[in-house]
Structure 1
Amino acid sequence: MDLLELFFIALGSAVVAYYAVKLLLFSRMFFPQLCFPLSKTFFTSVGEWAVVTGASEGIGRAYAFALAERGMNVVIMSRTKETLDQVAKEIGETTGQIVKVMVTDFINPNIFSELKDQLKDLNIGVLVNNVGVLPSFIPCKFLESEELDKTITDVINCNVKTMAKMCKMILPGMENRGKGVILNISSGIASIPFPLYTLYAASKVFVERFSQGLQAEYSDKGITIQTVAPFGVSTRMAGYQQINIVTLSPEDFVKNSLQYLRAGDKTNGSVCHIFLGWLLQSIPLRVLYTECVLHSLQDYVKKKTAQTASRAALENGRNT
């Protein structure tokens, strides 16, 4: 057996071993409670309070409930006081935990000093940076966005600046105590450069890279910083799509995603969404970027939007 033959045998063995390890690591995602266990007191052990932005509905509301159910007091933030008050009442009555309401519009860049004053005396163990804006639910090209200058500013202020500012505000306390959890909510579509959602997807890429950098900087301080990148979740931002194996309810998604808290610096939050992330990255971009595919995406979202509006109108008719 000559050296060249030995080289190819060794190379083939290395490739097989590499993919065997990757398969083994992926298989852990099917058993999160076994492979990434959390104690029942984990969340209360990192701090007394959780702060959740964009908590009046959807994923943010679900995180606020889930963390309160795990024994944490909760600060919920959004711009609609009436809705926040209702959420606070429901959480308090359901869990018995204390809920503080902070009404704020994260599109406004000058709110953070006031928030800092209100949060400074709290022992904050968990921060969920959930608030975000989608420029347009119906996908469109960048230059076709309505009020483009305002849209650019709003997306940067809400999706990018708010996350960085909230981390700047709360991370020092976690570092001093040597414990804490920060969950930054991204999106599955940030897995690739995503046309027709270009600005939104790009803002969520920032969320991922920022979070991964912070985790590398502060993991030795006992702090967990993780990007959570869901695909389909039935929220207002997603047009309240029907719940199925791909599109989860906010409550089910949050329940699943918390099981992956120790699974690394990024998770898609559920086995199905993890598979969708792999699939999206496996499809050649030149296929995804064809005019046919992009038009099909637009038509699909428009159709789903019309179906949702029709169902809502029907339900309203039944309730009147």
Structure 2
Amino acid sequence: MDENSRVLSILGGIAISIVGFQICRKVLPWIYSNMLGPQLCGSSVNLAKMGDWAVITGSTDGIGKAYARELARKGLKLVLISRSLDKLKTVAKEIGDEFGVEVRVIDVDFTAGAEIYEKIREQTTGLDVGVLVNNVGISYDHPEYFLDCCQADPKFLRNIVSANIHSVTHMTALFMPGMVAKRKGVIINISSTAGVIPNPLLSVYSSTKAFVNKFSDDLQTEYKSKGIIIQSVQPGFVATNMSKIRKPSVFAPTPETYVKSALATLGIATQTAGYLPHALLQLVIHFTEAVLGEQFARNLVLKSIADTRKRALRRQAKQQ
């Protein structure tokens, strides 16, 4: 082998080593966060030791209600916060009777102004809150182009930002000081897979969820040394009223199945899909972006969501 061939061979080996290192650096943490950690170890966080009370927003059905049930199962008292007082009372009695824990309710509309947070502050003063689940959120009735959804509902932009962003920042500001003071606490922010993959025709919703991811990530960096655990959970499709999926499946689990899986990642992953099939979906889309190009992946998702939009519009036309 001549000198040039030897140099090329060395450079090739270095290049292969670098690529292999980068793959391992990305893949091994993903395997631990989504498979080995949750499946073999489970969460090591003792939520009952964080405080006597858990506060859950958007808690009358779906993922929020499932979190409420699991936290009650672990012995925490609950403050359930949602819009409908009748639904809140029904869920509170159901959970209180089943798990024997105290359950309080606060009825507020998270699309309203800052005054709702003063009501929440007044009704939670003196409670030792150790867990906050920011779950409340709203989405589109169906996938739609940005200008069309704004024209159809002029209040839409304000409402979705209030419910999906302001609720997270204001509730965190309300309850984090108490957690920092005692140097322990958990904040779980429910984001969405929509916030980490291309999501045209749901652009405002996906952008609010991207905010939740970024806010959670940077806040964890700020307050990890204070003993606070902050996690952003990014579900894909779950069989809830919001998703309009009635029949659960492997890729669209029940809220109860999803939440049990997501809680197993607490303390293991600060950003998580919460459920292995959803993590695999994210991985496939990111792999497609890396191998075939971002624009190809975006166009692929656009076509799929556009088809969903067409079906929704046909259903609307039939109902009218």
- Regarding TM over 0.5, the answer is yes
Q: 1:85 is matched with which residue: 89, 114, 120?
A: 89
Deviation at 1:265, TM superposition (A): 1.6
**Corresponding letter in the other structure for 2:88:** L
Which residue in 2 is equivalent to 1:205? 210
Q: Does 1:287 align with 2:296?
A: yes
Aligned residues of 2:144 and 2:309 also touching (Cα < 8 A): no
Q: 1:167 to 1:218 in 2, by over 3 A?
A: same
Q: Number of residues paired by the alignment?
A: 304
Q: Does 1:156 align with 2:164?
A: no
Deviations 1:77-131 (A, max 9, x none): 0010111111001101110011001011011112111211111211001000000
Moved over 6 A (4+): 304-307
Q: 1:30 is matched with which residue: 28, 32, 35?
A: 35
Q: How many Å separate the matches in 1 of 2:236 and 2:305?
A: 15
Q: How many Å separate the matches in 2 of 1:18 and 1:297?
A: 32
Deviation at 1:305, TM superposition (A): 9.2
Deviation at 1:278, TM superposition (A): 1.2
Equivalent pairs: percent with the same residue?
A: 35
Deviation at 1:295, TM superposition (A): 4.9
Alignment of 1:147-296 (within 5 A): 147-283=152-288, 284-290=293-299, 294-296=302-304
Q: How many Å separate the matches in 2 of 1:296 and 1:225?
A: 33
Aligned residues of 1:191 and 1:280 also touching (Cα < 8 A): no
* CA RMSD in angstroms, aligned pairs only: 2.2
Q: 1:287 to 1:55 in 2, by over 3 A?
A: same
Q: How many Å separate the matches in 1 of 2:196 and 2:85?
A: 34
Aligned to 2:214, the other structure's residue is in SS state: helix
Alignment of 1:12-161 (within 5 A): 12-28=16-32, 29-31=34-36, 32-38=38-44, 42-109=46-113, 110-134=115-139, 136-145=140-149, 146-161=151-166
Aligned to 1:230, the other structure's residue is in SS state: coil
Deviations 1:224-267 (A, max 9, x none): 10100000101111013421110010110001000011222200
Aligned to 1:59, the other structure's residue is in SS state: helix
**Corresponding letter in the other structure for 1:9:** G
Aligned to 2:165, the other structure's residue is in SS state: helix
Aligned to 1:97, the other structure's residue is in SS state: coil
Q: How many Å separate the matches in 1 of 2:254 and 2:201?
A: 25
Aligned to 1:128, the other structure's residue is in SS state: strand
Q: How many Å separate the matches in 2 of 1:245 and 1:289?
A: 24
Long gaps (5+) in structure 1: 311-320
TM-score with structure 2 setting the length: 0.88
Deviation at 1:285, TM superposition (A): 3.4
Aligned to 1:170, the other structure's residue is in SS state: helix
Aligned residues of 1:239 and 1:305 also touching (Cα < 8 A): no
Q: How many Å separate the matches in 2 of 1:226 and 1:151?
A: 27
Deviation at 1:191, TM superposition (A): 1.0
Q: 1:125 to 1:305 in 2, by over 3 A?
A: farther
Q: 1:161 to 1:124 in 2, by over 3 A?
A: same
Aligned to 1:111, the other structure's residue is in SS state: helix
Q: How many Å separate the matches in 2 of 1:5 and 1:105?
A: 65
Aligned residues of 1:125 and 1:179 also touching (Cα < 8 A): yes
Q: How many Å separate the matches in 2 of 1:294 and 1:45?
A: 45
**Corresponding letter in the other structure for 2:146:** F
Deviation at 1:293, TM superposition (A): 5.7
**Corresponding letter in the other structure for 1:78:** S
Deviation at 1:282, TM superposition (A): 2.6
Deviations 1:193-228 (A, max 9, x none): 421001101111111101101000001111110100
Q: How many Å separate the matches in 2 of 1:84 and 1:49?
A: 17
TM-score with structure 1 setting the length: 0.88
Deviation at 1:288, TM superposition (A): 4.2
